[in-house]
Amino acid sequence: MYHTCWQTNYVERVLMSKTKETKGQMRLVEAILASFIIILAITFLNVFAFTPLSPKYETSDLERIGTNVLHDMDEKGLLCRFVYNEEWTTLKIALMVSLPPEIYFDLNVYDANFSRVNDAPIRYGDLEVFENSSYVASVTYLVPGYQADYDPQVILLQLVRE
């Protein structure tokens, strides 16, 4: 009687340990499967979503940067001074300092009849860069005049990332 009982206990213990092992392995498989599903979902989103840094938005990002730089210079009263005093070299340096170094620019100033005012190019970067680039952003900015003279001029700034 005692022998049979001992045998039964032994068999139960062996069975219990086997069940625990299988349970542990299954939990591992389930966790791996669950992680795989979540990673798949995140990867799916990353592949199909256009992030704000995507080349699709390159032009609008450059436009934003260009407008901000011109607007800041105008707020400080520098833009009109450079344009109406025809300080083209200073304007070029100011733009080079204000814009990130990897951005090339080409700026032209036109009068009310759309005749170009600047005789020399106000450019940073080779002309080929602007001709060959797929993403050229263009910013139009109007200045009404300087000091007591109303003489509106149109600033056209083209931007390309290196």
Which is nearer to other proteins, 9 or 64 (by Cβ)?
64
Q: Label each residue of 41-89 as H, E or C.
A: HHHHHHHHCCCCCCHHHHHHHHHHHHHHHHHHHHHCCHHHHHHHCCCHH
Q: Read off the DSSP letter of residue 112.
A: T
Minimum distance from residue 136 beta carbon to other proteins (Å):
16
Contact positions vs other proteins (CB under 8 A): 23, 26, 30-31, 33-35, 37-38, 40-42, 44-45, 48-50, 52, 57, 60, 63-64, 67, 71, 74-75, 77, 80, 112, 139-150, 152, 154
Nearer to other proteins, 16 or 127 (CB): 16
Beta carbon nearer to other proteins, 88 or 141: 141
Structure tokens at 66: 């260009």
Read off the tokens for 42: 């995140």
Question: Least distance from C-beta 2 to other proteins, angstroms?
Answer: 28
Minimum CB separation of residue 71 from other proteins in Å reads 6
CA 92 to chain CA centroid, Å, is 24
Alpha carbon distance 103, 18 (integer Å): 66
Question: Three-class SS of residue 99?
Answer: coil
Q: Residues for the chain: how many in total?
A: 162
When the beta carbons of 5 and 37 are compared against other proteins, the nearer one is 37
> What is the Rg, in whole angstroms, of the alpha carbon atoms belonging to the chain?
34
Minimum distance from residue 70 beta carbon to other proteins (Å): 8
CB of 26 to other proteins, least distance (A): 6
> Cβ closer to other proteins: 129 or 143?
143
